[in-house]
Amino acid sequence: MNNKDLRKYSKIVVDGVEQAPSRSMLRAVGFEDSDFSKPQIGICSTWSMVTPCNMHIDKLAEHVNKGTDEAGGKGIIYNAITISDGISMGTEGMKYSLVSREVIADSVETVSGCMGHDAIIVIGGCDKNMPGLMMGLSRLNRPSLFVYGGTIQPGPNHTNIISVFEAVGGHAAGNVSDIELKQIEDTAIPGPGSCGGMYTANTMASAIEALGMSLPNSSAQDAISEEKIGDCLNSGDAIMHLIQNDIKPSDIMTRGAFDNAIKVTIALGGSTNAVLHLLAMAHTMGVELELDDFTRIGKQVPMLADLKPSGKYLMSELIKIGGIQPLMKTMLEVGMLDGSCLTVTGKTLEENLATVAPYPTEQDIIRPFDNPIKKDSHLVVLKGNLAPAGSVAKITGKEGLSFTGNARVFESEEDCLKGILDGTVVKEDVLVIRYEGPKGAPGMREMLSPTSAIMGKGLGEDVALITDGRFSGGSHGFVVGHVTPEAFDGGPIAIVETGDRISIDAESNTISLEVSDDEIKTRLKSWQKPDPRYTRGVLAKYAATVTSASEGAVTDKYI
């Protein structure tokens, strides 16, 4: 192997007499003479002590670096930011969450683009940093792969972060004592790793594996485990193979691969955020993918996984029976996946799955096709006079398939949460939270605090919630998000009044405001666009450039 021939970008930075200053600076960070002839691998770590999801990723990055060096490359670790949804949830700080996806994508593109990295390995462990990392490496389109930080272990009594949020609602209802709330708070998060159900982090890790951009089983390994260390070490050989064969993200992240990712997300009962992020990732990769494609694909795929938040089991329990690989093999065997799609192993999906063993016969985490939890997708795209450009609901069937009630309008998440906890919200209400969209918030906050409070107060089957914001992967109940156009853009959600009747039907895929067309036009005519909430800084820049949720809420479409 001639390593020098593999250096497509780094040789511009380090070769020749004129690049002596570059080499001199690199010597200070550990380069030796032999390293300059090796392909340079940018290793983007999202390590941070701001969240348990990422607190261990510095160690994983060192293992990735070791595997890369042993395989003949030269690893260079750098960091991208991360934030914590779980910690900022329900606060003004949560407005930075979706914004961080764009900042992370910009960071990967900026650092590896500037430094001439020949390939990129990214390591993510929380909701937004995973799609952000994928978007960044897609922009550069150099040999790349993704390593998942891994899932957290459950707390005592099968608890996790959603247990804490729902205990807050239970406390308000008088069903959870002060002592019980403190016990759950103290023990539900026992250590490193991403939130333990099929919430957004595990959803996106699974989708990225199904997309072909991580090594088999990367999505289904505990954060602290020998298997996760092995995943990191093996990334070195994998990235060198990708460099040697000039296999780039554009060769892997094809339309067929995105269809595979959507189908696996549906089978697992994944987060509504997957819709937003897969749309954004496809846009960045130049793949045509639209909101309506989720409806078309959703008719073909059943929901099979009995995983939290709506089900019984946690990701750590799915890991024990084999992760998502046996599920994908079964889906492939019935013709549901495109096995010809290339993956970061250099093999096709079908080749990767050839030797995968089936699930144990006694397990009941993943249902058989003839006994699904829901016969079609739980990710339902609803349209109607309340959401002309679409909205996204998470309907597993356990909540029912339709809901009609009286609107109770709130202008912010905080106001809604207060109304739930103080008893203002009652049965048959359709809670409307608006001005929480990508531009209006700005940043499209997740409504986990209100949805968890609804569950905790025992109203999960009695109220619905709609918003131009979005939901955490931990949210469940009769909830509809991503309503577009958003209120800030003058969408019909802006003119809903408390007491209006709203009808939601997941069978006809409709969401309707039961007000005459003339009345809607009259209200819209008198509506006035509010002033932006931010005029400086990253939130102002985001609001000025972001597209609607139906287009993935990306910030570079204007170019």
Residues annotated catalytic, as ranges: 472
Q: Tell me the two tokens of residue 497.
A: 């009044």
> Which of 71, 204, 106, 78 lies closest to 146, judged by CA?
204
Cis peptide before 154 (omega within 30 of 0): no
DSSP lists the bridge partners of residue 511 as 504
Q: Tell me the two tokens of residue 482.
A: 């991503």
DSSP lists the bridge partners of residue 78 as 44
Q: Tell me the two tokens of residue 208.
A: 């990225």
Work out the widest C-alpha separation in the chain, in whole angstroms: 76
Q: Alpha carbon 114 to chain centroid distance?
A: 27
Number of helices (H) and strands (E), helices first, in the chain?
21, 12
Q: Tokens 């919630």 identify what position?
A: 465
CA–CA gap between residue 454 and residue 448 (Å, rounded): 10
> Which of 26, 256, 302, 246 lies closest to 118, judged by CA?
246
Neighbours of 176 (CB within 10 A): 18
CA–CA gap between residue 74 and residue 67 (Å, rounded): 10
Backbone angles phi, psi at 479, to 5 degrees: -125, 140
Q: Tell me the two tokens of residue 377.
A: 């997708």
Q: Tokens 């070791």 identify what position?
A: 66
CA–CA gap between residue 148 and residue 150 (Å, rounded): 5
DSSP 512-534: EE-S-HHHHHHHHHH--PPPPS-
Backbone angles phi, psi at 32, to 5 degrees: -115, 170
Which run of H or of E encompasses 390?
strand 387-394
Sheet strands (E) in 411-514: 429-433, 464-467, 478-484, 501-505, 510-513
The sign of the CA dihedral 4, 9, 13, 15 is positive
Q: Alpha carbon 241 to chain centroid distance?
A: 28
Pairing of strands 40-45, 74-79: parallel
